[in-house]
Structure 1
Amino acid sequence: MAFPTPSPTYPTFTTLYTHILTLPTPLLPPPKPTSPSLTASISSLALHPTLEAALHILNNDLPSAHFLVRHMQAPPAYEGMFLHGILHRIEGDYDNARAWYGNVSESEVFGEVWGSEEKAREFIGGVEGLVKKGEGERGGLERESEREIKAVVEFCRGKFGEGEVRDARDAWVKPGEDHRRMGEEMVTGGKGFRQF
């Protein structure tokens, strides 16, 4: 009887991140995680939720990333909100991505990554043009996608560190009553353009 080869373990953020960077960078909607065995490895590091979400995005595990960013969709969790926009861009939900980018356009993380909302919108438009019309240069868009997510990771790494976060309650934010109600209507009532 042959036993399955155990998946490799990555004892630190740096070893796991270095490995993930060898995988294809997400640009378009992936059919499934690039390496499903990495989901448990990413979660087991108990990183700050923004870093964990970013690693899941880099592994094309959008459901795991979405679970995390949905707990960080209001200020002051700008990094999680930005990752939410990146996730929707990769999914192909460009209007939703633009909305999230717009929500964080005045934040420090967005400023470091893009400098201006105009540049970010141009990039999203380029990806959308490639997907919907076959227009644009795929290689350049892939490089820009990689640059964007790496810049967000490095910002979060500097802000939150790479250590274990056993209690992430401080990272989760509760939206105000207006945002909560609006979100409920968009998810359950089909109102508005944004499906969280």
Structure 2
Amino acid sequence: MPPGDLTTFDAVYAHLTTAYPYPVLPFPSPNPHSKTLSHTIASLSVHPTLEALLHILNADLASAHFLCRHMQNEPAWEGMYIHGFLHRVEGDYRNADAWYGNVAESECFRSAWPGEAGLEDAKAFIRRVERLRKQKIGDVKELEVESQREVDALVGWCKEKFGTGRIEDATQVWVEPSEEHRKIASKMLVGGEGWRQF
């Protein structure tokens, strides 16, 4: 049961990142760590990018996916990046690769994966996570540290850009999906390597 004073983004973020490990391998259950916390996160009414990240940290991947689907086209680079991050957490590594590639030149991605080799480093990290999951090769603690670095950078970028105040009407954040995304969404399947395949 989460502590009672979780009324701000920073308090919820601190709780999630101390109560649970940073996400590396897919959570073995499709249920969140805490259903109560899922409600608390939604009640914060923060920018949807920050809400999606909190849901991911709470292993509430369905809620995170709902938000990401409304931010998966230009100019919502951060929403697209979070969608890729979500796929990595789900264990859907090919989709994570694709989303990371789509946002590789964006400021938000570069904040987490700087330098000329940013995309290469990110994809190498995805491969290391995949190898740990599928072949049991690698150090989960080392990968948690890298996941923490990525999450903290992405959260920091979104906090700086959007703040953590309440957004009562998030419809201004949503972007129209591209025709490609509409077609993919119409053929959504359950299964694949992770919880969902898109």
- Which of 117, 131, 138 aligns to 1:136? It is 138
Q: TM-score, normalised by structure 1?
A: 0.88
Q: CA 1:137–1:44 in 2, change beyond 3 Å: closer, same or farther? A: same
Q: State the Cα deviation string for residues 116-167 of structure 1 (Å, max 9, x = none).
A: 1000000000000000111112111111111111111110000000000001
| Cα deviation, residue 179, structure 1 | 2.3
* Structure 1 residue 180, shift from structure 2 partner: 4.1
Superposition pairs for residues 6-155 of structure 1, below 5 Å? Answer: 8-23=4-19, 24-30=21-27, 31=29, 32-115=31-114, 116-155=118-157
The answer (yes or no) to whether the contact 2:45–2:167 under 8 Å persists in 1 is yes
Measure, in 1, the Cα distance between the counterparts of 2:2 and 2:103: 40
Do structure 1's residue 179 and structure 2's residue 175 form an aligned pair?
no
Report the CA distance shift for 1:195/1:169 in structure 2 as closer, same or farther (over 3 A). same
Correspondent of 1:158 among 157, 160, 184: 160
Amino acid corresponding to residue 136 of structure 1 in structure 2: G
User: Is contact 1:186–1:195 with CA below 8 Å preserved after alignment?
Assistant: no
CA shift for structure 1 position 185:
5.1
Unmatched runs of 5 consecutive residues or more in structure 2: 190-195
Please tell me whether the aligned partners of residues 37 and 58 of structure 2 are also in contact (alpha carbons under 8 angstroms): yes
CA offsets per residue over residues 150-192 of structure 1, 9 Å max, x none? 111110000000000001111111023x32443245427xxxx
Partner deviation per Cα, 1:3-36 (whole Å, 9 max, x = no partner):
xx89724221122112112122111111132222
Q: Which amino acid aligns with 2:95?
A: N
Structure 1, residues 21-63: CA drift from partner, whole Å, max 9, x if none? 2122111111132222110110001000000000001111111
**How far, CA to CA, are the matches of 2:187 and 2:109 in structure 1?**
25
| Aligned partners of 1:130 and 1:138 also within 8 Å | yes
- Counterparts of 1:17 and 1:6, CA distance in 2: 12
What is the TM-score when the length of structure 2 is the normalising length?
A: 0.88
Change (3 A) 1:100 1:139: same
How far did residue 95 of structure 1 move? 0.3
Tell me which residue corresponds to 1:191.
none
Identity among equivalent positions (%) equals 52
**Bigger Rg, which one:** 1
Which runs of structure 1 show a deviation greater than 3 angstroms over 4 or more consecutive aligned residues? Answer: none
